Amino acid sequence: MELMTCTLGDICDEVGGVIRTGPFGSQLHESDYKESGVPVIMPKNIVDGKISTEEIARIGESDANRLLHHRLRKCDIVYGRRGDIGRRALITKRENGWLCGTGCIKISLGNSVLDPIFLYYYLGQSDIVSWIYNQAIGATLPNLNTRIIRSIPIRYPPLPTQRKIAAILSAYDDLIENNTRRIKIQEEMAQALYREWFVHFRFPGHEKVRMVDSSLGEIPEGWEVQKVNKICELIDYGYTASSEKEPIGPKFLRITDIVPYMIDWDSVPYCEIPDNKLKKYQLSEGDIVIARTGATTGYAKRINKRHPESVFASYLVRIRIADDYDNYYVGLILESDEYKRFIKANIGGAAQPQANAQVLSSFLILLPSKEIKELFKQNIEGIFDQRETLQVKNENLRRTRDLLLPKLISGELNIENMEIKLENMNS
């Protein structure tokens, strides 16, 4: 298969495209942000190759028009240029007209030379990500700039083949997205069951149970209120180390890995840890890890059954619930918005929020009777198992897609003469 070779900057100049950083702080001030208006994409909004609208900033239409050069169009690619510099997303119809924010770079090249979806996948190859990382400026907090982006080496086949490659890889992402939706349904089912039983108190047999006063209001008789730290076997801080891309030890779970909807273990890095410390920091099924610093302080995740050998980083607190209590139940509570609000209220409005283990484990929770606890676990465990099965399927799909990616792009797998449907491309 014939492959052309040049830099991204050469193609940008050829097609009259744009590779531009978002507006500087002098162009977009804190006072410009509003509760409603045009969304502004920041690096934190780029999650798993898509744009997350959770806590997305917004500005008025007049300010967006003032910054017209920074508005995004469908099929642009937006990069986060600080921190996790491999983070990128393809702009879809939904984000058309949104703003490329401070801390991001937009790539707008049209589709006459490079198919945008092909380019999006091309930039995700491990060797390209490594190349970009090695060019990045700053050892502590790597930074990208337009010079680095323009210098990215591009090897690409003719457009028809690019579109076939994009269609094949997109099909994998469509399956992953479908499974992700099903995972969210499972999560919503778990949360709905929790609320029905433990918020509205419509658990099996509730009609025969008397309500009594407690520090959390009226609760079923025989239930009790307790702080999280009173039902824990362990509460400890994580391990301090540098993360590594190479598999030199166990997976190294960080705050950034627990903030997304699910932990994507394939993207979690590794770390070196001496054998005599591994047991202390090793994660087990049912452990709950909580972010203790930064904007996501109070975000928590329960570690599920099918997790790889892993340890947790120093900016996380690990809570291990004692065997007498149900970690499924406690995990649902600590992953809730109510818990996040409690933590936020108890750490104040510092520029860099921080919470110690004492604060993170001081939340009051309701402990049901033994019968209800066991019945809830029987109902909830199947939902969690289904969710994990879907997550494993997604991990396998991602691995297959990522193995195919360099083979398709290099021409090792030649698809020029294959008939492939190209419906809904670039949508």
Pick the CATH number of 4-156 from 3.20.20.70, 3.40.50.80, 3.90.220.20, 3.40.50.10320: 3.90.220.20
Query: In the chain, where are the structural domains located?
Result: 4-156, 224-367
Q: Sign of the CA dihedral 308, 310, 316, 321? A: positive
pLDDT at 413: 85
Output the pLDDT for position 348.
65
Rg (CA), the chain: 24
Alpha helices in 38-135 (DSSP H): 61-66, 116-122, 126-135
Whose CA is closest to 278, among 232, 239, 235, 332? Answer: 239
Q: Kindly report, residue by residue over 287-329, the tens digit of the pLDDT.
A: 999 999 988 899 999 999 889 999 999 999 999 999 989 999 9
- Report the 10 Å Cβ neighbour count for 152: 19
Quick one: CA dihedral 13, 96, 91, 22, positive or negative? positive
* 85-115 exposure pattern, b = at least 16 Cβ within 10 A, e = fewer: bbbbbbbeeebeebbbbbbbbbbbbbbebbb
Task: State the angle between helix axes of 327-334 and 370-410 in degrees (0 to 180), rounded to the nearest 10.
Answer: 70
For residue 391, the one-letter residue type is Q
**Cβ-proximal residues to 138 (8 Å cutoff; 6+ apart), any chain:** none
Strands (E), 275-393: 288-291, 300-302, 310-312, 316-321, 364-367
pLDDT in the model for residue 111: 93
User: 88 with 120: CB under 8 angstroms?
Assistant: yes
Count CA atoms closer than 13 A to 49's CA, side-chain side. 16
- 288-316: b (≥16 Cβ within 10 Å) or e: bbbbbbeebbbbbbbbbeebeebbbbebb
How far apart CA 102 and CA 27 sit, in angstroms, is 9
Report residue 406 CA to chain centroid gap. 24
- Tokens 């028809």, residue located: 160
The whole-number pLDDT of residue 138 equals 62
Residue 101, both tokens: 């924010």
The CA–CA distances, whole Å, from 171 to 120, 165, 398, 419, 420 equal 14, 10, 11, 15, 11
Q: Do the two domains 4-156 and 224-367 of this chain adopt the same fold?
A: yes
> Do the beta carbons of residue 256 and residue 313 sit within 8 Å?
no
pLDDT in the model for residue 30 = 83
Crossing angle (nearest 10°) for helices 370-410 and 159-198: 180
Q: Which residues of the chain have pLDDT under 70?
A: 1, 83, 138-142, 348-351, 416-417, 419-427
Q: Count Cβ atoms below 10 Å from residue 217 Cβ, excluding itself.
A: 9
The SS3 call for residue 176 is helix
pLDDT score recorded for residue 2: 81
Fold (CATH) for 224-367? Adenine-n6-DNA-methyltransferase TaqI; Chain A, domain 2 (3.90.220)
